[in-house]
Amino acid sequence: MPESPTLIPILGDQLSMNLSSLEGADPEHTVLLMMEVDDETGYVRHHKAKIAYILSAMRHHAEALKTAGWTVDYVKLDDPDNAGSFTGEVARAVERHCPERIVVTQAGEWRVAAMLEAWETMFAIPVDIRPDTRFIASQAEFEAWAKDRKELRMEFFYRLMRRKTGLLMKGDKPEGGKWNYDTENRKPAPKKDMPPEPLTFAPDAITRDVLKLVAARFDNHPGALDGFAYAVTAEDARAQAEAFMAHGLPKFGDYQDAMLTGQHQLWHSVLSPYINSGLLDPLELCRMAEGEYEDGRVSLNSVEGYIRQIIGWREYVRGLYWHVGPDYAERNFLRAHRPLPGFYWTGETDMHCMAQALGQTLETAHAHHIQRLMVTGNFAILIGADPAEVHRWYLEIYIDAYEWVELPNVVGMSQFADGGIIASKPYVSSGAYINRMSDYCGHCRYDVKKRVGKDACPFNVLYWDFLARHEERFAGNVRMAMAYRNWERMAEADKTAVRAQAAGFLKELG
């Protein structure tokens, strides 16, 4: 190793061999710096399993890089000399290695990006911040698409990504004649079809060491570590992807919105942690899914629905995150200020749907998109929870949550706090939707068919109360016109009873 190598910091969500900062680098003249730091593990109270996953995946990736011939300078969280921050650890590495320059792939979040941009002045050496080429759309490409548009709807951006990648395309036309098969992907929970068994991975020595560290150091953080079974290597993540393509994808489309008591994964892939941390390549997964369709093993509605989640939603929210700017986290269009109820951190509630979604989340650090949007998120917006607090909870609690992907989904899609940048209407519903898409209500002490009364489903009274509270805002929204017509047809006495019961329920929450 020469006296002045190139120093390449690799962040915890950059666990990819094809990282842009590695392009053109000579392993003989390069030091890769990987850092476990307090600033990242503790800036919110991350779920214990989330911390364990990231640290174990980082340590395994460091071993893979060494096997590939790279020199890796790895700083563990419990190193007594650990500076506790990315900048502090880069400063120590600069002292150790005297690099001629720093090369780094751009950060995924505003606060970390600001750190990277300060390094050149701080360390008085050149810093090359390279675009993150693991995304299909660059920030410049999203800005060009968003420029002069009155509405930034994901559907139209998704079509741009379909054309760019060629996924499910016949020339310039979509496969099957339609861009979106979402209307075919809303089947309720099946009564006979049982989902495949989830693929699990026993912790190895590295992961066991991490679990001990997390249990001791983050004992006051939410969530459990018992039964930790996530993949922590690219090879195991690939095995889970292949298992999903074979056993989950064929029915993913039909049942992607379904929920079942005691069933955590259903036909979902649970690949988002590995995509967002870098162990899996999102475009490669889309090609794999497309191949399943082309070979006749999977229907078009399932494959299109899966690909839309990745090159549609994932790319869209990343572009939007950088487009709207850091003040997005402060948006509060509905003027909601209620704190989240304590059962979001315990799972202890008589509402069976909430107990299932929250219990699963606390146990595994994962829940699928309908549990997040139409159960926990729906309840939060209906009670008027502060969107900043809801955002922090989602960021803390989910294993795949990084701010760039979580913030737009929560503040925009789930809580409508951005006033309609992402969604054209609030995603709110009564208990009827949850009953239609799950078996949850059949196990609940509340009656989903009752609007008021001590046994009435809280989602019902809260839904109508939400409409009443925000009638001036949404009465003219064409997508909510039917709901408001139903509200107007309700007898005044019934309206009064609904508002009174909602007020009592919210007072008890307080």
Q: What is the secondary structure of 133-166 as a DSSP string? A: TTSSS-HHHHHHHHTT-S---HHHHHHHHHHHH-
C-alpha to C-alpha distance for 506 and 32, rounded to whole angstroms:
52
Angle, alpha carbons 356-225-207 (nearest 5°)? 140
Q: What is the token pair recorded at 461?
A: 């009274």
Q: How far is CA 249 from the centre of its chain?
A: 19
Distance of CA 84 to the CA centre of its chain: 26
Q: What pTM value is reported for the model?
A: 0.96
Per-residue pLDDT of the chain (510 residues; tens, 9 = 90+): 456 999 999 999 999 999 999 999 999 999 999 999 999 999 999 999 999 999 999 999 999 999 999 999 999 999 999 999 999 999 999 999 999 999 999 999 999 999 999 999 999 999 999 999 999 999 999 999 999 898 999 999 999 999 999 999 999 999 999 999 988 888 988 888 889 988 999 999 999 999 999 999 999 999 999 999 999 999 999 999 999 999 999 999 999 999 999 999 999 999 999 999 999 999 999 999 999 999 999 999 999 999 999 999 999 999 999 999 999 999 999 999 999 999 999 999 999 999 999 999 999 999 999 999 999 999 999 999 999 999 999 999 999 999 999 999 999 999 999 999 999 999 999 999 999 999 999 999 999 999 999 999 999 999 999 999 999 999 899 999 999 999 999 999 999 999 999 999 999 997
Which residue, 256, 318, 260, 249, is CA-closest to 285?
A: 249
Closest CA to 73 of 55, 96, 91, 53: 96
Instruction: Yes or no: say if 188 and 438 are a contact pair by the CB < 8 Å rule.
Output: yes
What residue segments make up the domains of the chain, in order of their start? 6-130, 139-323, 342-509
Residue 59 phi, psi dihedral angles, 5° rounding: -65, -40
What pLDDT score does 25 carry? 97
Positions of E strands within 14-135 = 30-35, 71-75, 101-105, 127-130
Burial class (CB in 10 A: 0-12, 13-18, 19+), 442: exposed
CA–CA separation, 314 vs 408, rounded Å?
10
Burial bucket for residue 354 (CB in 10 Å: 0-12, 13-18, 19+)? buried
> Class for domain 6-130, per CATH?
alpha beta
For the record, the structure tokens of 438 come out as 């799950």
CATH number of 139-323: 1.25.40.80
Please report, as a single letter, which amino acid is at residue 433. Y
- Specify whether the backbone of 420 is left (phi greater than 0), alpha (psi in -120 to 50) or beta: left
Alpha-helical regions (H) of 271-374? 272-277, 282-294, 300-307, 315-324, 352-364, 369-370
Token pair, residue 242, equals 């292949």
Report whether 446 contacts 353 (CB < 8 A).
Answer: no
Per CATH, the number for 342-509 is 1.10.579.10
State the Cα–Cα distance between residues 360 and 323, nearest whole angstrom.
33
Cα–chain-centroid distance for residue 281? 16
For the beta sheet containing 30-35, the strands, ordered from the edge strand earlier in sequence to the opposite edge, are 71-75, 30-35, 6-10, 101-105, 127-130
Among 283, 288, 284, residue whose Cα is nearest residue 303 = 288
**Nearest one of 474, 510, 378, 493 to 432, comparing CA atoms:** 378
Closest CA to 52 of 210, 276, 273, 232: 210
Burial category of 100 from C-beta neighbours within 10 Å (exposed 0-12, middle 13-18, buried 19 and up): middle
Q: Does residue 307 contact residue 286 with C-beta atoms inside 8 Å?
A: yes
